[in-house]
């Protein structure tokens, strides 16, 4: 059974860079037809797609976040990562990683990790 | 880019049927598949409908999905409501490179 697990700091200071990693187990991140994505959910609010990456490194980003987002992949570790720069309190959210059956749907999700932006 | 608009909340009694709508702001609803996710408090989203009207294994047939080109919208219908259906529901679709989620609908079963 495929599993995804987010990891990273739960607290980030304003103006700094948020960094998270998603570790994939039970399957290969290099599988064809699948992208790997990040989605976030501010407390009490809805889901927002951040971006997606293929194992080759091809990426798509949400236009509203594109200037601050970098998603990368490490196939040797079966991981992909998110960096979000210049964070503010508005970036406080639960961050999920998920597998994307490109381009259609997310079928496996991690449990999510809460990242709070505060000094 | 387009937006998906859902009602903020709906409520219905156990045993009844409820329908949640998801309206696409631009472009045809029929041009890209629509998915529906259920999210219970404190949990990750799970798929209840994919590719407009397909149910993953394990999802009861009380859940069904459809699209209506005349209103440019998708709908999730849950029949025979149970208290365990109380959750937030999100529609999701995509274009050539972007994923889009609706704002979510809180379903209350009272």
pLDDT (tens digit per residue) in A13-52 = 999 999 999 999 999 999 988 999 999 999 999 999 999 9
Alpha carbon of A109: minimum distance to chain B alpha carbons (Å): 7
3-state secondary structure chain A: CCEEEEECCCEECCCCCEEEEEEEECCCCCCCCEEEEEEEECCCCCCEEEEEECCCCCEEECCCCHHHEEEEEECCCCEEEEEECCCCHHHCEEEEEEEEECCCEEEEECCCEEEEECC
Alpha carbon of A11: minimum distance to chain B alpha carbons (Å): 19
CB contact under 8 A, B97 and A60: yes
What is the pLDDT confidence band of residue A78, given thresholds at 50, 70 and 90? very high
Minimum-distance CB partner of A104 among B51, B90, B98 = B51
pLDDT (tens digit per residue) in B70-94 = 999 999 999 999 999 999 999 999 9
Minimum-distance CB partner of B101 among A46, A52, A109 = A46
pLDDT surpassing 90 at residue B96: no
In B, minimum Cα distance to A42 occurs at B103
Mean pLDDT of chain A: 97
What average pLDDT does this structure show over A82-92?
98
pLDDT (tens digit per residue) in B43-73 = 999 999 999 999 999 999 999 999 999 999 9
Mean pLDDT of chain B: 97
pLDDT (tens digit per residue) in A102-119 = 889 999 999 999 999 999
């Amino acid at each position: 059974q495929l599993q995804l697990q987010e990891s990273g700091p739960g607290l980030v200071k304003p103006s700094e860079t948020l960094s998270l990693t998603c570790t994939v187990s039970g399957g290969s991140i290099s599988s064809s037809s699948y992208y790997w994505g990040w989605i976030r959910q501010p407390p009490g609010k809805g889901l927002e797609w951040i971006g997606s990456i293929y194992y080759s490194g091809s990426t798509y980003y949400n236009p509203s976040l594109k200037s601050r987002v970098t998603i990368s992949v490490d196939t040797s570790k079966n991981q992909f990562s998110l960096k979000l720069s210049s964070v503010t309190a508005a970036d406080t959210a639960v961050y999920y990683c998920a597998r994307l059956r490109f381009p259609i749907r997310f079928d496996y999700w991690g449990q999510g990790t809460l990242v709070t932006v505060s000094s | 880019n387009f937006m998906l608009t859902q009602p903020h909340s709906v409520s219905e009694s156990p045993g009844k049927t409820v329908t949640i709508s998801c309206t696409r702001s631009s472009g045809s609803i029929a041009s890209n598949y629509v998915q529906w996710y259920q999210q219970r408090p404190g949990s990750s989203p799970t798929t209840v409908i994919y590719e407009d009207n397909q149910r993953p294994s394990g999802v009861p047939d009380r859940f069904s999905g459809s699209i209506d080109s005349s209103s440019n919208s998708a709908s999730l219908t849950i029949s025979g409501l149970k208290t365990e259906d109380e959750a937030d529901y999100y529609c999701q679709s995509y274009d050539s490179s972007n994923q889009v989620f609706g704002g979510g609908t809180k379903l209350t079963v009272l």
